[in-house]
Amino acid sequence: MTSIPAAAVGLRLSVHGLEVVLGSGRRSAHILKEVSFDVPTGQTVGLVGESGSGKSTLAKTLVGVHRATAGSIIFDGEEVTSAHGEQRRLLRRKIQLIPQDPYSSLDPKRTIGQTLAEAIDPVHARLKEHRPRIIELLTMVALPADAVDRYPHQFSGGQRQRVAIARALAAEPDLIIADEITSALDVSTQAEILDLFDRLRRELGLTVIFISHNLAVVRQVSDTVLVLFQGELVESGSVADIFAHPAHPYTAELLRSVPGGPGFTLSKERL
């Protein structure tokens, strides 16, 4: 990996001219087009856009599931676009993705303790050895200690999302990508998960990319907002500026779709 000059200091992630084409030949699809943005260390960047805008593709490209067709991804001052082998494995540890549907990503045959033990140490996933840390992680996400011996199907959707958050934290990542983590939950459970996530973000000093199609949700947890439309980044700015003065028609349309208008909030308390 190539070192980047000190100009990048203070940036956890810097994406430049990112292009992603999936498939080949006539079945290829140009998903991301010249996407560029920065994520300052310790901040939360909200990424919004409708389904099909390329949000999840961007997330999977950042964690190495998809390969960039062009452009660069600079993480902690290092060019990682072409990372492979041990470098790629370390990248996957440093950047953790919390998926939209945690149930599909949890092995139904493994207990929560086994899943978290593997997240703590993929090579030596010994439940007994890592049990104290597992209990600590469960406590952090407000789950009982006996959850360690239970299976995914024994939890509600909101509880499984808490497990997914704990699994991401187990790797002690430098960047967390939360991909639509409340979209499959009812409104009251959404508020609980958002409050939990925001508390952990502040207490642990996390750097976050928070992906959602809902600007009201993004507004609660984000410092800045990126707007993705048909694979292109059409607008970016602070939460206050985007909500008060949307410059792109697509952003304005998204704001009009927010329940209750720009002041809408899912939380009982404004964050």
pLDDT of 260 over the 60 cut: no
pLDDT of 21 over the 60 cut: yes
pLDDT of 64 over the 50 cut: yes
Containing structural domain, residue 185: 42-66+89-256
User: Average pLDDT of the chain?
Assistant: 87
Task: For residue 1, name the pLDDT band (cuts at 50, 70, 90).
Answer: very low
Answer whether residue 208 is part of any domain: yes
Answer whether residue 7 is part of any domain: no
pLDDT (0 to 100) of residue 257: 75
Task: For residue 259, name the pLDDT band (cuts at 50, 70, 90).
Answer: low
Tokens 């949307």 — which residue? 246
* Calpha distance 3→76 (Å, rounded): 9
* Mean pLDDT score, 66-93: 83
* Calpha distance 215→134 (Å, rounded): 33
More confident residue, 214 or 161: 161
pLDDT of 237 over the 90 cut: yes
Task: For residue 131, name the pLDDT band (cuts at 50, 70, 90).
Answer: very high
* H helices present in the chain, as ranges: 55-62, 86-94, 102-105, 112-120, 127-140, 157-170, 187-204, 215-221, 239-244, 249-256
Answer whether residue 261 is part of any domain: no
* Mean pLDDT score, 212-219: 84
Answer whether residue 114 is part of any domain: yes
pLDDT (0 to 100) of residue 267: 43
Answer whether residue 235 is part of any domain: yes
Q: State pTM to two decimals.
A: 0.87
pLDDT of 160 over the 80 cut: yes
Answer whether residue 55 is part of any domain: yes
State the total domains in the chain.
Answer: 1
* Calpha distance 37→14 (Å, rounded): 6
Strand ranges of the sheet holding 11-22, from the earlier edge strand across to the other edge = 29-40, 11-22, 70-75, 78-79
What CATH number is attached to the domain comprising 180?
A: 3.40.50.300
